[in-house]
């Protein structure tokens, strides 16, 4: 039997790759499984998912990401700590060494698409040295049909070589690790990290440039789902706030869990797969996602596995807190197969407020929605050092600053226009702490968060009464089916009311300090929200 009979396909010469040994062209999952096992890249778990380790990096290497500074894109890019400029000549030098590194190597190529909308989809090629990264690309992007494969011409290419390292002194990188986007050459190169999330988030990065800039389509770091009547909801939120968790709902069909576009027809997924956080995943609270951890095709990253029984332990965080499952969206039972939905009726902004002062759910005016979109607030619980209990507030514009290439006001303008045109209801949902901050209170139950979201989406909250809380000026519902009424106003569940007031005032102050940078870009009514 020949293991490598999928050697069709051409075009690697166009990238300068001329001397590869074996090239696997868009191999299917089974072939990739065989290669993962033959190359000792991972272990099969007892029900068929494959377990891998990402190595030193178990999350994104945010400080090692650069954008090549070329004349065409230069004026449009929001240069700064997120979008660091990289010299074009140094890119070419580094890339040439990378090409030399690929000589004689087996390579895996996935030709696929990003963007479910036929009008906006981007043909993408992902070239990797590891079979499991190829499976990741196959899971996460949109598959081409056999006919589409025959004519597939990549518009952007990702080359991911975790074992190839930069030389910081020569290349001008910070470390041996790099993720570099080159718009002029339509190329992304990744080296020195095996964290697969870089592959999907670098394509997200370029879509955040191309779609709003070239096509006036809003790109968003959000999940999306559709109700039985086809009513669409989108859920913005930073990492860990519940985009993936809350969008997987038995009664609502999943459109996507992380990245979407919104054009004149409605929303569309950029991806064809999901990437769920699975640390301490509960079968009861997240049954759909739990099932995917046991399916053929799912990649389990940095999950502890008993090497004898091949059973996994989702509670074990010895490799990282950021354990992940990558699976094709078709592993979730209730989905929208086209990846496309109409215009949203509801926009939900998720935050994980570890201070415990934001209400579990609140209705926002369009101005408040703009304010919170530009603020992009969440909080991280304190590290594990003894005695440190104060949470860290994070503000990340558009709920995704690390991936936004244009100025935040560009995305905010597009969102504002769409919210007004389609008469969208906007909600702020706190999936974080209640009854006190981290250490005092406890994290909101997933069942409550789901009940709150469902009541917003099915219209029952809108039909009821609201009260305005004094700190953020948010409208809090007085009742919600399935949720005890006293938790709806966060002040009620703090034993120490004075402590609540002080913590809330302090958070308002942090919002104001952060928002000062956006004042000149927004209407007075938005700047004056807080």
- Closest CB 210 distance from ligand ATP, rounded Å: 21
Q: How far is Cα 355 from Cα 17, in angstroms, rounded to an integer?
A: 52
Q: Residue 180: which of 338, 65, 324 has the closest Cα?
A: 65
Q: Is 18 a catalytic residue?
A: no
Residue 5 catalytic?
no
Question: Of 69, 111, 231, 258, which one is the catalytic site residue?
Answer: 258
449 binds, among ligand ATP, Mn ion, none (CB under 5 to 8 A by kind): ligand ATP
Active site residue 443: no
The bridge status of strand 324-328 relative to strand 377-380 is unpaired
Q: Which of 266, 164, 208 is nearest to 410 (CA)?
A: 208
Cβ distance to Mn ion smaller for residue 17 or 254: 254
CB of 302 to ligand ATP, least distance (A): 14
Ranges within 237-296 binding ligand ATP (CB under 6 A): 237, 239-246, 258, 275-277
Q: Residues of 447-482 as b/e, b for ≥16 C-beta within 10 angstroms?
A: ebbbbbbbbbbbeebeeeeeeebebbbbbbbeebee
What are the residues whose beta carbons fall under 8 Å from the beta carbon of 444, sequence distance 6 or more? Answer: 360, 430, 431, 432, 433, 434
CB of 244 to Mn ion, least distance (A): 3
Burial 262-281 (b: 16+ CB within 10 A, else e): bbeebbbbbbbbbbbbbbeb
The 345-384 site mask, x for binding ligand ATP (CB under 6 A), equals: ----------------------------------------
Choice from 444, 455, 504, 527 touching ligand ATP (CB under 6 A): 444
Helix axes 497-515 and 366-375, enclosed angle (nearest 10): 80
Q: Which is nearer to Mn ion, 143 or 243 (CB)?
A: 243
Nearest by Cα to 155 from 125, 190, 133, 188: 125
Which residue, 239 or 514, has its beta carbon nearer to ligand ATP? Answer: 239
Instruction: Find how far residue 242's CA is from the centre of its chain.
Output: 11
Q: What is the DSSP string of 209-242?
A: HHHHHHH--EEEEEEEEE-TT--EEEEE--TTSS
Catalytic residue chosen out of the listed positions 15, 53, 60, 138 = 60
Q: 44 near 33, Cβ under 8 Å?
A: yes
Least separation, in Å, of the C-beta of 235 and ligand ATP? 8
Q: Does 443 bind ligand ATP (CB under 6 A)?
A: yes
Cβ 242 to ligand ATP, closest distance in Å? 3
The question of whether 324 is a catalytic residue gets the answer: yes
Catalytic residue flag (residue 330): no
Q: How many residues bind ligand ATP (CB under 6 A)?
A: 18
Residue 290 contacts which entry, Mn ion, ligand ATP, none (Cβ below 5-8 A, type-dependent): none
Contacted by 242, from ligand ATP, Mn ion, none: CB < 5 to 8 Å by type:
ligand ATP
258 catalytic per annotation: yes
Rg (CA), the chain: 23
Residue 74 is among the residues annotated as catalytic for this protein? no
423 an active-site residue?
no
Chain-centre distance for alpha carbon 438? 24
- Closer residue to ligand ATP in complex, CB, 37/446: 446
Of the pair 127, 222, the CB lying nearest ligand ATP is at 222
* Placement of tokens 């910070």 in the chain: 174
Q: 400 near 376, Cβ under 8 Å?
A: yes
Residues between 244 and 263 with contacts to Mn ion, criterion CB under 5 A: 244, 258
Spatial distance between the Cα atoms of 365 and 236, rounded to a whole number of angstroms: 16
Q: For 348-410, give the DSSP string.
A: EEEE--TTS-S-SEEEE-HHHHHHHHHH-EEEEPP-SSTT--PPEEEE-GGG-GGG--S-HHH
Q: Which is nearer to ligand ATP, 405 or 530 (CB)?
A: 405
454 scored as a contact of ligand ATP (CB under 6 A): no
126, 449, 455, 529: which one contacts ligand ATP (CB under 6 A)? 449
What is d(CA 319, CA 362) in angstroms, rounded to the nearest whole number?
37
Shortest CB 154 distance to ligand ATP, Å? 26
User: Between 35 and 239, whose beta carbon lies closer to ligand ATP?
Assistant: 239
The interface mask with Mn ion, positions 393-432, x = CB under 5 A, is ----------------------------------------
Our finding on whether 221 is near Mn ion (CB under 5 A) is no
Structure tokens at 229: 């009547």
> Which residues of the chain form contacts with Mn ion (CB under 5 A)?
243-244, 258
Residues forming the active site: 60, 201, 221, 239, 243-244, 258, 324
> Which residues of the chain form contacts with ligand ATP (CB under 6 A)?
237, 239-246, 258, 275-277, 431, 443-444, 446, 449
């Amino acid at each position: 039997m020949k293991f490598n009979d999928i050697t069709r396909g051409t075009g690697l010469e166009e990238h300068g790759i001329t001397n590869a040994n074996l090239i696997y062209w868009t191999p299917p999952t089974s072939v990739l499984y065989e290669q993962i096992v033959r190359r000792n890249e991972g272990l099969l778990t007892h029900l068929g998912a494959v377990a891998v380790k990402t190595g030193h990096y178990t999350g994104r290497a945010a400080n090692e990401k650069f954008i090549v500074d070329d004349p065409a894109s230069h004026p449009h890019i929001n240069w700064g700590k997120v979008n660091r400029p990289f010299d074009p000549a140094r890119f070419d030098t580094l890339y040439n060494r990378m090409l030399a590194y690929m000589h004689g190597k087996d390579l895996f190529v996935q030709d696929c698409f990003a963007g479910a909308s036929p009008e906006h989809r981007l043909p993408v090629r992902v070239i990797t040295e590891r079979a499991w990264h190829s499976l990741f690309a196959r899971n996460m992007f949109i598959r081409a049909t056999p006919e589409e494969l025959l004519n597939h011409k990549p518009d952007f290419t990702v080359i991911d070589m975790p074992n190839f390292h930069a030389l910081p002194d020569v290349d001008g990188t910070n470390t041996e690790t790099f993720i570099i986007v080159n718009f002029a050459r339509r190329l992304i190169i990744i080296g020195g990290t095996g964290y697969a999330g870089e592959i999907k988030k670098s394509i997200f990065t370029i879509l955040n440039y191309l779609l709003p800039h070239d096509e006036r389509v809003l790109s968003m770091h959000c999940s999306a789902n559709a109700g039985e009547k086809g009513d669409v909801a989108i859920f913005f939120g930073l990492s860990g706030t519940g985009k993936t968790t809350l969008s997987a709902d038995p009664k609502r069909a999943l459109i996507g869990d992380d990245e979407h576009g919104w054009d004149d027809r409605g929303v569309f997924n950029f991806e064809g797969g999901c990437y769920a956080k699975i640390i301490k995943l509960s079968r009861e609270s997240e049954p759909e996602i739990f099932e995917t951890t046991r399916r053929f095709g799912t990649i389990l990253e940095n999950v502890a596995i008993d090497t004898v029984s091949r059973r996994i332990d989702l509670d074990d965080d010895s490799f990282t807190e950021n354990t992940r499952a990558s699976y094709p969206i078709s592993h979730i039972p209730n989905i929208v197969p086209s990846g496309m939905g109409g215009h949203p009726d509801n926009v939900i902004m998720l935050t994980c407020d570890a201070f415990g002062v934001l209400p579990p759910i609140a209705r926002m005016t369009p101005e408040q929605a703009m304010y919170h979109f530009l603020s992009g607030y969440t909080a991280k619980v304190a590290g594990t050092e003894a005695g440190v209990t104060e949470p860290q507030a994070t503000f990340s514009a558009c709920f995704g600053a690390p991936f936004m290439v244009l100025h935040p006001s560009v995305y905010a303008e597009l969102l504002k226009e769409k919210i007004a045109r389609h008469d969208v209801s906007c909600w702020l949902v706190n999936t974080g702490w209640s009854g006190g901050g981290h250490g005092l209170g406890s994290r909101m139950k997933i069942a409550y968060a789901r009940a709150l979201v469902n009541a917003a989406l099915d219209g029952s909250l809108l039909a009821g009464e609201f009260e305005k809380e004094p700190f953020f000026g948010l409208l809090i519902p007085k009742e919600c089916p399935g949720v005890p009424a006293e938790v709806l106003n966060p002040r009620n569940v703090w034993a120490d009311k004075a402590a609540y007031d002080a913590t809330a005032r302090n958070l308002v102050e942090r919002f104001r300090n952060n928002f000062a940078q956006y004042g000149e870009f927004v209407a007075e009514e938005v700047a004056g929200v807080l």
